Amino acid sequence: MNKITSKLPKEWWKNWPEKWQDAPLAVFDVETTGLEAQKDRVIEIGIVHFQAGKWQKDHNWLINPGFSIDNEITEITGISNDDLADKPSFDDIAAEVLKAFEERILVAYNFPFDRGMLAAEFARIQGENDDNLWPKAGTLALDPLIYAHALYPKLKNRKLAMIASHLEVNLENAHRASHDAKATGEVLYKMADRLPESLLDLITLQSQWHADQEAKWAQRKRKKAGLNFNTTQKNDSVFSSNDTLESHQSLGPSFVYGSQTDPVLAYYSTIRDARD
């Protein structure tokens, strides 16, 4: 793979190994009462620690949202109101969750969704001023969904179950947080031979792929709406010809420079509500 040039400051990388596979990862997933961070709540968090391609530890919490969950959520996740009745609130376990993320690169499949739901939970108990934002500025994040769109454009879709099956990763109990998180970590490592070894290069490539994918998504949205446009993309292989608009409603984070000069805050602002 050709060397990728990055303009990101060196201080962003000084605390991490040069190779991303050597870095400690916190791969996480959430199950929720719905898709809207401002009104829905997290009912399960799974955080799985990996390093050097190996599983280290699982963390899992069931959380009482403070109200009854819909039958549809139970059908999807297998989590019932009875399961949550005696479980702690998010406030009760927030410190444990933060500790499980400490000194690790964050990884999630469709990072903006899971990040958005957790950020809203932290904001409810900590307030929304800059000192209390989660994750903190300077936190690094990887989103294998971005890589899946770029590397496997001919698959029917890039949902976690599809990618896991394609890469021969075992996904038990899909839509349970720890199981999805563990599969996400294993999927990421399975992609390693098609990704840069360097953490800096991977983050930079992630930014480039994400920008291409967002541009493609916007182009398809305008076309579906019947609007005229003259945008030409350099990489036409990002999406397959049988993709639909709905399958690209959330493509994940990356370092993106614009009016926001802080790259982490910039990419955390690129959030949509629906899972791919």
Please tell me the predicted confidence (pLDDT) of residue 138.
Answer: 79
Query: Hey, what are 215's tokens?
Result: 């541009």
pLDDT digits (tens, 9 = 90+) for 228-263: 555 443 333 322 223 332 333 333 333 332 333 344
What are the pLDDT digits (tens) for 188-226? 999 999 999 999 999 999 999 999 999 998 988 888 887
Q: Mean pLDDT of all residues in the chain?
A: 82
* Structure confidence at residue 126 as a pLDDT band (50, 70, 90): confident
Q: What is the token pair recorded at 255? A: 């370092």
Question: Which residue type sits at 39?
Answer: K
Whole-prediction pTM: 0.79
Name the residue ranges covered by the structural domains of the chain.
14-268
CA-only gyration radius of the chain, Å:
18
Q: What pLDDT is stored for residue 269 in this prediction?
A: 43
CA 53 to chain centre: 19
Query: Tokens 């890039």 map to which residue?
Result: 158
Architecture in CATH for domain 14-268: 2-Layer Sandwich (3.30)
CA-based nearest residue to 271, from 103, 48, 35: 35
